[in-house]
Amino acid sequence: MPMSVLGFGTMAFTARLTRSSMLEVMRQDYVRTARAKGLAERVVVMAHMFRNALIPVITILGPALAGLVTGSFIIETMFSFPGMGRAYVQAIGQRDYSMIMGTTVVYALLVAVANLSVDFIYVFVDPRIRLEE
């Protein structure tokens, strides 16, 4: 139950964004050109449309991951699920400053790694982006 409460909102938003991005890419000239060249529909969708539609989705996944991690505070407290988020909330109530600072640093590192991984994934999805100059 806690995982479904935490994940369904993000999953619905990601699916809606993917759909709208695919509909936008579907109207581009290069998709019409690929179809006019006689490429199979599967190749057009996977190689041309889906790859370009993933760029906005990947952009959202970094902050969405951060939202899932920080949303665990509320979910773990609501469902009395033992975890890092619940321990963080209890540390705030008990004024355990070392626990508060340590957990904040861990969560900040998780958010930074999630955003950095999004930047690295861009390199694989979008051929226009390069790591070196």
Token pair belonging to 125: 């999805």
Cβ-proximal residues to 85 (8 Å cutoff; 6+ apart), any chain: 70, 72, 73, 74, 75, 76, 77
Mean local confidence (pLDDT), 6-27: 90
Report pTM. 0.74
pLDDT in tens, 39-72: 898 988 888 888 888 888 998 988 888 888 877 7
